[in-house]
Structure 1
Amino acid sequence: MVASRPQGLHIGVDAEKVVVSPYPLRMRAGRARRSRWGSVTEVTSAPGSGRSRGDRRRSASQVALVLVLVSAVLSVLGVSGWLSAAGSVAIVAIVVGWQARAARVGSIALPRGEGVHVLYSAEERTAFERAVVVARRVRGTWPALCHMIDPIEADRSLSAALEQLAAIMARRQQLRRLRDELAGAAPHDLPAGSPAVRALAEQRLRVEGLWRSTADAANRILASVNAAALAGENLIREQRIGETAREAELAISRLAAGPAPSDAGPELAERTAAVIAAYRELAAER
């Protein structure tokens, strides 16, 4: 029986490579930070703690000293000395192992199996990591668009696009090395009609054709993912603007339905002027 392929996509990033795999990723050395969005799990290597071996020894010695005191107290309370000693040794061993692992620079182990792509070249790594950033933007729009899209189907399509892009980038990585090798193969003053020179020129043309076709395929995927992010974000902005307009319309309707302005202000001014005029007349008569 053929084992079924695991579900989901796992993307690992460390200092030297990007690993894209359908299988869970493990660390060869150091620690990792893991985050999950949909069917995609990201594994990012954590930087080393920078603690020297001497610092780790001193820290382990301090832990051991504390455990010796705890073991002495437990012995007084009737706990078996062998039991407390075994527990102390186990705790010290765990602390030493954890500190040693934390001091190493994180490195992701390469899984075995079909569909694993490893990117070492800086150009391919950068392009794929940018695509992952845009893919996070795409997924960030789904909660606001849940009534318009099927999140399960959209998640499956997004994961497939990233996997296809990783496969294309791995292929371009190989083509890049081959282009460099062919570019460095000089004819060495051989005649133009030499079979070797013609074969070299033919292989260069084939590699350039593959280079252009993989670039077109990668650009199509990148453009589609970016278009999905922009479309979702623009629609969310449009929805927010429309909601603001509706709220403003309701507020304006409530204000317009209020009582009409009265003539109390002008009446008050007229009465005040009349009182002042009468006062002046009385003052003049006196």
Structure 2
Amino acid sequence: MGTEQHIGGDLRVGPELYVGSDMEKTVVSPYPIKCRSGRARRTRVGSLVESVPCAPSGRTLERRVVVTARVAVPLLFVSAVLSAFGFSWWLGAAASAAIVAGVWRRLARGAQPGAFAVPRDTASRVLWTAAERTAFDGALAASLRVRGTWPALAGMVDPVLADRSLTRALDELATVLTRRQELRRLRADLSGVRLADIPADSPARAAVAEQSERAEELWRETGAAADRIVRSIDTAALAGETFLRERQVAATARYAERTLARVTGAPAAESGPELADRTEAVIAAYRDLAPVT
């Protein structure tokens, strides 16, 4: 249960990505994320839907009973009036009971801390470890910065294609980080194996060494892949924000130039700075967002 807010228009051009983060985990899924307890607030930006648990309402059991009773009494009165006019009493009673039950359930959920259910489908990914959650949260925050620059970059960046590339980058990052947290556990298990009592020529010892080497290789590969995706999102955010700030500064410089020309009576030279190089940097940053397959 929850509410959904739309920000920056609706750019649903491809597969949607749902992200939910509570106190214990981060869920990334192509399907809507359900709440295990409590309620969540959903914010849609293009094809990205972010869910954040709502704070508990703080209503005690007694308070919830009072609120529910205030709803139930008028409904019972309406049911009695309808019954007096010939309407079926049990139909009114059933409808009243359903409404009261819905109100009670909503109040009860609102009083609980919000937590997301773990999806059972194989397409969803769940990040449990702190390092991987921090990395994804940072990339998600940077992606929101990227999306925030689109209205001012009209004509330079196609928001539909950019939205698709950015969502795919986050989706790929979630997959890489899921593998990485599995490797983190595996490396811990392998490092905990006691080899002191195992003969040096034991096949078991050789097998553990081989798997440890393979795990380290995959650890480095997934780390490099995650760093590339995070870096590309950060670069796109920084390029767009820098361009917008420079354009504002350039506009201020041109305004000052025209004002000074009007005051001194000299013709304006129109020597405002050109931002062609910055434009190319923005375009290149968005081009690097495309995931490597």
Q: Normalising by the residue count of structure 2, what TM-score does the alignment of the two structures yield?
A: 0.78
Is the Cα contact below 8 Å between 1:23 and 1:111 reproduced in 2?
no
Question: Does the residue aligned with 1:200 lie in a helix, a strand or coil?
Answer: helix
1:124 aligns with 2:132: yes
Corresponding residue of 2:229: 221
Q: 2:163 aligns with which of 155, 166, 170?
A: 155
Mapping 1:1-286, distance limit 5 Å: 7-68=15-76, 74=81, 78=85, 80=87, 82=89, 84-257=92-265
Separation in 1, partners of 2:260, 2:27: 56
Question: Closer, same or farther in 2 for the Cα pair 1:84/1:205, shift >3 Å?
Answer: same
- Tell me, yes or no, if the aligned pair for 1:32 and 1:46 is still in contact at 8 Å: yes
Q: Percent identity?
A: 49
DSSP-derived class of the 1:142 partner: helix
Of stretches 74-83 and 185-194 in structure 1, the one that deviates more from structure 2 is 74-83
In 1: Cα distance, 2:109 partner to 2:238 partner: 42
Flag the structure with larger Rg: 1
Bigger mean CA offset, 163-172 vs 199-208: 199-208
* Greater share of helix: 1
2:5 matched residue in structure 1: none
What are the Cα deviations for residues 83-127 of structure 1, in whole angstroms up to 9, with x where unaligned? 654443333222111112212222323445453211111111111
Residue of structure 2 equivalent to 1:267: none
Cα offset for 1:205?
1.3
SS in 2 for 1:33: strand
How far 1:134 sits from its partner (Å)?
A: 0.5
Q: 2: CA distance between counterparts of 1:21 and 1:71?
A: 44
Aligned length: 252
Other-structure match for 2:272? none
Q: Distance in 1 between matches of 2:92 and 2:75?
A: 9
User: Cα deviations across residues 242-270 of structure 1 (Å, max 9, x unaligned)?
Assistant: 10011111211221239xxxxxxxxxxxx
Query: Structure 1 residue 70: deviation in Å?
Result: 5.4
> Structure 1: any 5+ residue segments left out of the alignment?
1-5, 259-286
RMSD between superposed Cα atoms in Å? 2.3
Which has the larger displacement, 236-245 or 145-154?
145-154
Query: Contact between 1:135 and 1:225, CA under 8 Å: does it hold in 2?
Result: yes
Local SS of the residue matching 1:212: helix
Specify the SS of the correspondent of 2:195. Answer: coil
The corresponding residue for 1:277 is none
Distance 1:94 1:115 in 2: 32
Alignment-mate amino acid for residue 63 of structure 2: D
1:254 and 1:110 mapped to 2: Cα distance?
A: 66
Q: Unpaired runs of 5+ in structure 2?
A: 1-13, 267-293
Rounded to whole Å, the distance in 2 between the matches of 1:151 and 1:87 is 47
Q: Secondary structure at the match of 1:186?
A: coil
User: How far 1:234 moved relative to its partner?
Assistant: 0.5
What letter is aligned with 2:215? V
